[in-house]
Each structure stands twice: as structure tokens, then as C-alpha cells.
Structure 1
Amino acid sequence: MKRSQKKQVSILSFTPNGKNLSQEVAKALQDRGYEVEQAVKCKGQPDSISVSLVEWTRERFFRKDALIYIGATGIAVRGIAPFVESKCTDPAVLVLDERGTYCIPLLSGHLGGANAMAREIQEDLGSRAILTTGTDVNQKWAVDVFARENHLWISDMELAKDISARILRGEQIRILIEEGGMAEGFEQREEIALLWENKEAGSLEEDGTEAKEKEEKSRQPILPHIYIGTRRPYPEKSVLCLVPRTVVAGIGCRKDTPYLLIEKAIEEALQEACLWKASLGKLTSITEKAEEAGILEYCEKNRLGWETYPARQLQALEGQFTESAFVRQTVGVGNVCERSAVCGLGEEGRGDASLLLRKQAANGVTVALAGGRWRVRFEAG
């Protein structure tokens, strides 16, 4: 089971001209892969909606990825005002005038993708994207945009704001890549220094020697401002962690194991391995567990993928796994959790070398964690 869903957009217009523009915007976004619904609230239009502006917005604000209002900015502000909560959860909100001259991202410009959508509309329809966020205006690297584009979880939005403020003040930000991670498309730029973790040497490595020289002079380790990785190596209040969702939890359990025991076993395993909960991307097991209610509930609540594999596929994996004669007799393979975790990595799997945590057993639940190679991409400098 792999979760993939088109981003959902709702458009509301208020005049006949606005309705015509709505159709053009919808067509352009659909061609880009969005799922779009349209509505018009205009007297004299036979398909005009009867609900109020606020009611229409309420029904969509927490369910859609983006809302687009074609009309005056004030109308959109009145519509969304009762529901605005946080840049972490609010949808993208954009406004276009009815002639399509300007496209203004109002809400969630970075994390929600409103700025990116405004640029897409500008490219497709010629509307001028009016961007007001500081990093965009000053053409600087933006940590929240980088996180969204690379599907990274942000550990602390206040630290993210502080980093953006530092960049706008002209300071350089040190970004440390977890050992085993890959960075693509990075070009040297004044606001970012990219470092690489080397656990074997117990040090950081940088393109250039400035950080090393500073560390030698102070005789104290130079902490990064940002750490990109699945582990929790630093105090959470001092370093911003950007977390790729690449860890796979293989799981085995008795039939009808309650949800709370599933949750406890998985989260204790993540804690034991010093991994962020946000690093978890999917759960895996043997085919016989495909409809296990407690596991399905955990996946649903945490928006995780869920994949199962037949015993013969699990048994075919090469490597040294924690075998159980009882499990082999019961399901036809000597280990479910470790083997299925590695299977869940796909081409990134490297047998038992991919295991971050071997089988942990408690209360009839077994859990193992595996991690493959991951990569992030930087925009051009």
C-alpha cells in the first residue's frame, strides 16, 4: 500500500469575469497535476453557491491544500480570518484580481506552497506573482521552502524563523548532513556552509577550512545551525533538525494486538535508536498481517505507508537476521520484523547492514528499524 494523493485546490470567484478566470486557473493547475474544484458566489449566476463566504471557507480550510479567491484581497481576508492557526498547518491561500493581473500569496507562502503556486500561475497565465516574504524579496535561501521541497519535517519553527532572520542579517548558516546522507545541486553561496558528518573521525568536514580553523582555535566543537538527518544527535533547543521520512519499521505481532501496544512498541524502538518519530515513513510486515487492525490504525493516525510481503520474499533476503524456529514454523520465515523492514527500503536496502535497530520484543510485538540512503536537493545558488 503506497500513499500518493494529488494536491487539492478550491477556487472561489465572485463575478462573471472572475468565473472565466477561475476556469483558466483550474485548467492550468490540472495540467500540473492538481485536483481542482471551482465555485462562484455571484448574484445572477445560475450556479452561484448559497452558503456564506465564511461557511464555504470553513468547509475547506482544514481539508484542502490550497484555497484561491478571485476578487478583492479584503474578501479573502474576511473569509479565512476565523480559521488561521499556524504556518505549519494552514493551507496555501492566494488571491487573484478578476483580470488576472496580479497573484498574491496571502498565507503559507513557504510551507504551504503558496509562493510556488503563485509562480506557477505567473508562468502559465502571465499573472504577476506578488511575493512579500523576506527571503524571496532578497533572493536568499529559505529553510522552510527547502524543507517543503525535500519533504523534511521541521523540528522547531521558532528556530527556523531565527535562521531566516540570521540569513537576512547577512550571517552564514552551517548545515550538517548526517553521515550516509547525500546533497545534490549545491552551489557555493555566501549564506550557507555545507558540512558532512564523519562519526568515525568524530568530527565535521567542510568544503574549505574555515570551520576547522575556528574549532582548533576555540578547542571546542563548532555546532551546526541545521542538522539534516534521522537521528537526534543535538539538544533540540540549540540546533534545528530537518528530518527525512525514510526510516522503515518492520513489525510482527499476535493477532488482534491492541493499538496502544503497537504504538508503545514502535515509539520505544525509535527512542532506543535515538531516531525522530518524524523519520518514520512506513510500516512493513508479512502478508498475513495485512489486515491487522491495530497496525492499520497506527498507520492511519500517523499518515504512514503500510506494505506487506509474502514469506518467500522475506526469506530470500541475504544477511544475518535474528531467527526464531517458532516464527518459522508458524509463518514460514524465521524473522518477520527485521526482514520486512529491509524489504521496505526497496532498492536502498542493503541486507542486514541497513538495520538501525534489530528485533525488539515486548507484549507480543516485535519491531525492527531499517534506514536506507537518502538525499536532499538544493536549489541553484
Structure 2
Amino acid sequence: MSNPYAVVAITKHGVEMARDLGGRFQGTDVYYMSKFARGDEDSLDIRLFDGSVKLILPDLFQRYNGIILMISLGAVVRMIAPLLIDKKTDPAVLVIDDRGEHVISVLSGHLGGANELTRQVAAVLGARPVITTASDVQGTIPVDLFGRELGWTVDSFDKATPVSASVVNEEPVAVIQETGEQNWWRYDKPLPTHIRVYPDPASALQEPFNAALVISDRLLNDEEQEKLLANGVLYRPKSLVLGIGCNRGTGLEELEAGVLSTLEELRLSVKSVRNVATIDLKKDEEGLLALCSKYNWELVTYTPEQLNTVRLPNPSETVFKYTGAYGVCEPAALLSAGAENWLLEKKKIGNLTLSVARVTFPQLPVKENAHAQ
């Protein structure tokens, strides 16, 4: 796949729009029937096909993140029905009418990005975007996309549908946010009154609610899981920094085992780790690079001079002798997280030392979070 999107046309007017869209909307491959060929398709990298578009759809479903069809909605629904698997994996599907007046989000509006793609394509064509997803229409929290643009991941998706129903039906909803970015409300209007924000589970459990959105880097205890996730969704913000120091040649297996066991002891989720921080002497350490690659973590490094700007309770002359810094994992974690204190100051595990800090996020002005408790 050279581009993420495919636009397909089967009519004369559709071909005109497809060629126009292909030239103006970045990341789009154009497909249309060979009977409309003009002779410049090879130079424009346009794909021609014969027969029914139904024959090429299975391949397009596998190759593209989004498929834009200039075909009637009814025909598209019938053609794609046998290809549907799951909203977590199906591509975005859009339909554009033959006059280019409406761009319709048909499939995978949220997780597949069809709603946003619909808005973008409509803007290029000067058309009207047609989106029917309730949370988008009402301008409220999209449960299955909540925090996605901030890097949050969903840790429990089973209740996404009933929780979404509670949100759009304006039932009491508790947003329990222990950490993470607070600028998740994207609309230029107040937070709806049926959605209340709490700093921790204990505060939320003092009042009744029908659904919960939990934003935390902690592993919830049994009671919290029972009461909050019975009809709730758990989100993992990228809020933890691992400060790591290690002996030369320490392997991936030892590093990984030390990290995972320590996070388990601290009752913290590995899904909330944002990055690893260390001294610049370790920027080429194979074990660290392999660990970061496996978990898709950034490796952030600091010079000894930068690390020494952090006052340590127990500076090490031995570490200074070999590195020029009085500590590695502890100051690296604080510098990267922008924090003043550690969740774990320092732990030595075999050939590595580990420190954990929580990222400091900007606090929103009260007026922007007027419903917070």
C-alpha cells in the first residue's frame, strides 16, 4: 500500500471527482473503470479495472485504511456487507454522491476514522459532511476514541457500547481522572451537566452514576474494578517515566523482567509508560534499545551535567567516578517527567537500577473544568 486511502468511481461524473480528489487530497490512490480511460493513467498512477467494483473490494479492504466510494449508498452497503469483520479492524468507508454534494460516513466512524476523514474530504470538495454517530452529532465524549489523540489507550473495551449509550442518553456519567492530560474536552462549550469529573474513585463513589470513564495508570483493586468497570471503560494515559541505569551488556530479558516485576509491585500499568530516561552514555546500549523497541517507548538521554542539576538524597561517588553523574536513573526519571518526586526513588535489580516518576501535567483553569469535583 503506497497510500492510506483509495477512491473508487464507476460513473463519468464520479471519475471527474475521483481524479480531482486524487490530485488534491494527499495519500489517495484513484481507481476507476477502464472504459473511462484517458490515456494519462499510468503517468498519474491511476488504477484501472474491468467488471464489477465488487470484485476489487476485498483487496481494497485489506490494503487501505480508508475507502472512498463514488457509488450509491445502498449499493455500497450490499457490497461491503460480506467483508465486515469487526469495528476494530474494518477500514473507514465513505460514500460520495454523483454530484459531489454529500460525503457520507458509512463504516468505522470512530475507530476507523471515517468521521474525521468525511470532514476532510468534504472540505476539499466543498461538499456537506454527513455524520450520524450520536456522540459527534451531540458534541459529547466519544467513548471509543476518548483520549486517543493524547496517546491514551483503552485497557477495557468490553463495556464501550453501554457506556457510550449512557453518555449520549445524558445519564449520570463519572469521569474519574487520577492522572493524564486534562485538555480532553474538545468542544467550545461547557461540559454537559450529566458528566461529572472526580479526582479519584473514592470521590466518585460517594455519588450515584450509571457509567464511568476511568483515567488512571494504576492497577485497580478488586473493589474498584467491581464498582467502576461493571459499566465502565478504563483508559491508560502515557503518564509514567522509567529512569534506568544498567551495566554494559545487560540484555533485554533482564531489563524487561526487572521493569515488569517492579511495575507490578507498585501496582502500575505498563501500558501507561511514556518513555525510558537514562544517561547519554547509554544511548547505544543494545538491551535498552531493544526494550524500547519492543514496547514502542522513546529513549530519552541526558548529559552528566544535566543529571547533576537534580539534587539527590543519596548521591553516589562511585557512579560519579564512572559516569560523571552522581546518579542516573533517579535524576533521569525526574527530568523527563518534569516531576519533583519519585513514585520509586531507586531500586537495584541485578545489573540494572530503576526509578519511576509520574509525568507532571498542566492543570486546567477552573473555568475550563467547571464541573470537576
Task: Identify the TM-score tier after normalising by the shorter chain.
Answer: 0.7 to 0.9
For 2:286 and 2:273, the matched residues in 1 are separated by 19
The equivalent residue for 2:9 is 14
Q: Mind listing any 5+ residue stretches in structure 2 that lack a counterpart?
A: 50-54
Describe how 1:96-115 pairs up with structure 2 within 5 A: 96-115=96-115
User: Does the 8 A contact of 2:177 with 2:198 survive in 1?
Assistant: yes
Q: Percent of aligned pairs with the same residue?
A: 25
Residue aligned with 1:132, SS: coil
Question: Judging changes above 3 Å, is the alpha-carbon distance between structure 1 residues 135 and 184 closer, same or farther for their aligned structure 2 residues?
Answer: closer
Are 2:322 and 1:330 equivalent residues in the alignment?
yes
Of 91-100 and 269-278, deviating more is 91-100
Q: Give the aligned residue type for 2:333.
A: A
- Equivalent residue in structure 2 for 1:235, among 220, 225, 244: 225
Are 2:172 and 1:195 equivalent residues in the alignment?
no
The equivalent residue for 2:47 is 49
- Equivalent residue in structure 2 for 1:40, among 20, 31, 45: 31
Describe how 1:1-381 pairs up with structure 2 within 5 A: 9-15=4-10, 17-22=13-18, 24-25=20-21, 29-30=25-26, 36-44=27-35, 45=37, 46-47=41-42, 48-49=46-47, 53-54=56-57, 56-57=59-60, 60-61=63-64, 64=65, 66-73=66-73, 74=75, 78=79, 82=83, 85-137=85-137, 139-178=139-178, 182=182, 187-197=190-200, 203-204=202-203, 214=207, 225-233=212-220, 234-235=224-225, 237-238=229-230, 239-316=232-309, 318-345=310-337, 349-351=338-340, 353=341, 355-374=342-361
For 2:297 and 2:82, the matched residues in 1 are separated by 31
For 2:331 and 2:165, the matched residues in 1 are separated by 45
User: Does the 8 A contact of 1:250 with 1:285 survive in 2?
Assistant: yes
Residue aligned with 2:249, SS: coil
Q: CA deviation at 1:280?
A: 0.9
Question: Judging changes above 3 Å, is the alpha-carbon distance between structure 1 residues 240 and 103 closer, same or farther for their aligned structure 2 residues?
Answer: same
For 2:89 and 2:18, the matched residues in 1 are separated by 25
Aligned length: 343
Q: Deviations over 1:296-351 (max 9, x none)?
A: 222223222222122221122x3325533332222211221121122223xxx134
User: Does the 8 A contact of 1:95 with 1:105 survive in 2?
Assistant: yes
Q: CA deviation at 1:151?
A: 3.0
Greater C-alpha Rg: 2
Q: Give the aligned residue type for 1:276.
A: S
Question: Judging changes above 3 Å, is the alpha-carbon distance between structure 1 residues 312 and 264 closer, same or farther for their aligned structure 2 residues?
Answer: same
Question: Judging changes above 3 Å, is the alpha-carbon distance between structure 1 residues 166 and 246 closer, same or farther for their aligned structure 2 residues?
Answer: same
Q: Mind listing any 5+ residue stretches in structure 1 that lack a counterpart?
A: 1-7, 31-35, 206-210, 216-221
TM-score (norm 1): 0.75
Q: Give the aligned residue type for 1:258.
A: G
Q: Deviations over 1:21-57 (max 9, x none)?
A: 3454456654xxxxx1423243153334378725742
For 1:288 and 1:376, the matched residues in 2 are separated by 34
For 2:81 and 2:256, the matched residues in 1 are separated by 35
Residue aligned with 1:275, SS: coil
Q: Deviations over 1:84-111 (max 9, x none)?
A: 5543455433333453233222333123
Question: Judging changes above 3 Å, is the alpha-carbon distance between structure 1 residues 170 and 301 closer, same or farther for their aligned structure 2 residues?
Answer: same
Q: Give the aligned residue type for 1:340.
A: A
For 1:109 and 1:56, the matched residues in 2 are separated by 21
Q: Give the aligned residue type for 1:128.
A: R
Q: Give the aligned residue type for 1:342.
A: L
For 1:374 and 1:26, the matched residues in 2 are separated by 41
Q: CA deviation at 1:163?
A: 0.9
Q: CA deviation at 1:161?
A: 1.7
Question: Judging changes above 3 Å, is the alpha-carbon distance between structure 1 residues 292 and 99 closer, same or farther for their aligned structure 2 residues?
Answer: farther
User: Does the 8 A contact of 2:150 with 2:181 survive in 1?
Assistant: no
Q: Give the aligned residue type for 1:145.
A: L
User: Does the 8 A contact of 2:4 with 2:28 survive in 1?
Assistant: yes
Q: CA deviation at 1:192?
A: 0.7
Question: Judging changes above 3 Å, is the alpha-carbon distance between structure 1 residues 369 and 190 closer, same or farther for their aligned structure 2 residues?
Answer: same
Q: Deviations over 1:108-138 (max 9, x none)?
A: 3123332122223334433232323333355
Q: Give the aligned residue type for 2:99.
A: R
For 1:23 and 1:243, the matched residues in 2 are separated by 42
* Bigger relative CO (Cα 8 Å, ≥ 6 apart): 1
